Chain A
């Protein structure tokens, strides 16, 4: 008698449960599959959602001291009638603020970009900005100090158009620039939550636009001198003294809004995952009920030969719990696998699991086992309560 057997014999009902689980293989496998689905749903939604969040939050990195100021379009107010800032207004912002770089952005709409082959890049936008380095890291190439007749492209634009530094792209906007430009740099990916949607943007030097109408102004505040909140508030107060003209928002608060939205979404998705575990619990209850009915005679024998009710209950609950544990183990493995794929896709590192990602997977596994255990109680109780005489008929 080997050691394992002797250990297992300490918990005989578990030993018997294990044997029973492997008896109706197909049925057990299906019940396990139900748990797997639930655990994977919760684990993947949790871990994947976390990877997605990380990916999106990276867009806000190093933008702690940055705020955006947008015009509020007001038909009553002549000065901002077309919803843009004038050069004069931008100058006024410069005067109002301290320790702040005020960077106007031209965003004319009607952007049209062709890749080096001449194919249109439908999702690409064109924006004018003095110095993208103020907000973004350069992935490849270099933005010259005197940046005038070339463009800088976002990561997604470069990927979609297969664009490298040195290629020429054709850029046109609604009444602004129109021509071929050399690509001098490709920006690092920032995710779609990035202010200005950098990944999908072709940045053109402001000087290339013949305009003094700016769709947005970016404030970058030197933390040594002032805080971005204070400077943004200052601009808002001065511009809005006679009614709402501008809307300033720090990247930090955009980040908070984003996180809040993410939190709501991921809770909603987790609730869906939890429902799938509920379904798994119902499946297991059904499986156990069927299996208990099928083995009525056998359970009757156990009761007849002196197994107390609680031994029968613990055997059957051990069985259903085992289905849950099996499902959880497989589910965790799958969730980790899927999670690492998502991590690779979104964050670039397959092992970039975070504590909260692990927590979601553990939560799924825990709930899976718990649901299976709870699901087993009623069928077990029902089977144990059955009178052996009736069971043996």
Chain B
């Protein structure tokens, strides 16, 4: 995310986030994709108060995610990855700076409005799956949509999604009857039940072996192609980063470089 809208090298650019130079360098891309962006941030700062001390988890970054993007956010722990993911997921709001969801400033949203926006726009894949142990795979996938009171439609869509992730024969299995990779696929299907534009995945391969991780990454590619979903993932895993279109390297609350861009033709969106 956050590409520092410039070449990303200098801290000063980031700190100044919306500074002139970054804008000037990326202005054309920003404008061209701006209308399209699902979510974008400008000079986003997030500070936490921890016992009288103020910790700056994010020190002023810019980002933009467009349809079908696949962005990997990497960086050491404590670099602000989770904070960024929470902001992208509208689970948190920036201390200063602006985050826009489809052009609307999310800081103007009430808690309830953010909840609605999350439901309509964003799917979550959590690191430890967080499946309900007593519910079947199908019911877990349905869960985010259960409040809809359209059980038939929800069930159809959930079945379709589980088939889509290759678990059509495991609909009635409980989580403890599924392997790690299968659970992750259930979690991915769950993240898609509300037809989001953006899926946020926290260490999606963290608990999986390489082969299973491969299949998850392939699945992300397919979903991006077929469902038009953007994927932003936070990962320690270089392997995931390699698969991503863009890599955002977050260190100490600032974006250091975006080396993924070169490999992936850089184009469509910037981080």
Contact across chains for A19 and B135 when beta carbons are under 8 A apart: yes
Majority secondary structure, B binding face: helix
How many of A's residues come within 8 Å of B, CB to CB?
A: 30
Neighbour of B152 across the interface among A6, A23, A300, A303, CB < 8 A: A6
Residue on A nearest B191 in the bound complex, by CB: A305
Contact across chains for B91 and A388 when beta carbons are under 8 A apart: yes
With A1-B155, A22-B134 already in contact, the answer to whether A392 and B147 are too (CB < 8 A) is: no
Q: Does B132 contact A (CB under 8 A)?
A: yes
With A304-B91, A306-B116, A308-B112 already in contact, the answer to whether A298 and B155 are too (CB < 8 A) is: no
Residue on A nearest B121 in the bound complex, by CB: A306
Query: What CA separation (Å) do A15 and B147 show in the bound complex?
Result: 11
Q: Does A16 contact B (CB under 8 A)?
A: yes
Q: Does A20 contact B (CB under 8 A)?
A: yes
Query: What CA separation (Å) do A19 and B174 show in the bound complex?
Result: 13
List the interface of chain B (C-beta within 8 A of A): 86, 89, 91-92, 111-112, 115-116, 118-120, 123-124, 126, 128, 130, 132-135, 143-144, 146-147, 149, 151-152, 155, 190-191, 194
Residues in A neighbouring B190, C-beta threshold 8 A = 305
Residues in A neighbouring B191, C-beta threshold 8 A = 305
List the interface of chain A (C-beta within 8 A of B): 1, 5-6, 9-10, 12-13, 15-16, 19-20, 22-23, 297-298, 300-309, 311, 387-389, 392
Query: What CA separation (Å) do A92 and B152 show in the bound complex?
Result: 92
Contact across chains for A389 and B86 when beta carbons are under 8 A apart: yes
With A12-B149, A307-B147 given, name 8 new contacts (CB 8 A). A19-B132, A22-B134, A23-B133, A298-B132, A301-B124, A301-B130, A308-B116, A309-B112
Query: What CA separation (Å) do A307 and B120 show in the bound complex?
Result: 11
With A5-B151, A304-B91, A305-B194 already in contact, the answer to whether A392 and B126 are too (CB < 8 A) is: yes
The 9 closest A-B pairs by CB, nearest first: A306-B119, A9-B151, A305-B144, A12-B146, A301-B130, A306-B118, A389-B91, A23-B134, A389-B86
Majority secondary structure, A binding face: helix
Contact across chains for B115 and A15 when beta carbons are under 8 A apart: no
Contact across chains for A19 and B134 when beta carbons are under 8 A apart: yes
Residues in A neighbouring B112, C-beta threshold 8 A = 308-309
Residue on A nearest B130 in the bound complex, by CB: A301
Query: What CA separation (Å) do A293 and B207 show in the bound complex?
Result: 24
Contact across chains for A306 and B155 when beta carbons are under 8 A apart: no
Residues in A neighbouring B123, C-beta threshold 8 A = 305
Residues in B neighbouring A23, C-beta threshold 8 A = 133-134
Contact across chains for A298 and B130 when beta carbons are under 8 A apart: yes
With A16-B146, A306-B120, A388-B91 already in contact, the answer to whether A301 and B151 are too (CB < 8 A) is: no
Contact across chains for B149 and A305 when beta carbons are under 8 A apart: no
Contact across chains for B115 and A303 when beta carbons are under 8 A apart: yes
Query: What CA separation (Å) do A311 and B149 show in the bound complex?
Result: 13
Query: Can you list 24 A-B pairs with a CB-CB distance of less than 8 A?
Result: A6-B151, A9-B146, A10-B149, A12-B149, A13-B147, A15-B146, A16-B143, A19-B134, A297-B128, A298-B130, A304-B118, A305-B123, A305-B144, A305-B191, A306-B115, A306-B144, A307-B115, A307-B144, A307-B147, A308-B115, A308-B116, A309-B111, A388-B91, A389-B91
Query: What CA separation (Å) do A9 and B150 show in the bound complex?
Result: 8
Residues in A neighbouring B151, C-beta threshold 8 A = 1, 5-6, 9
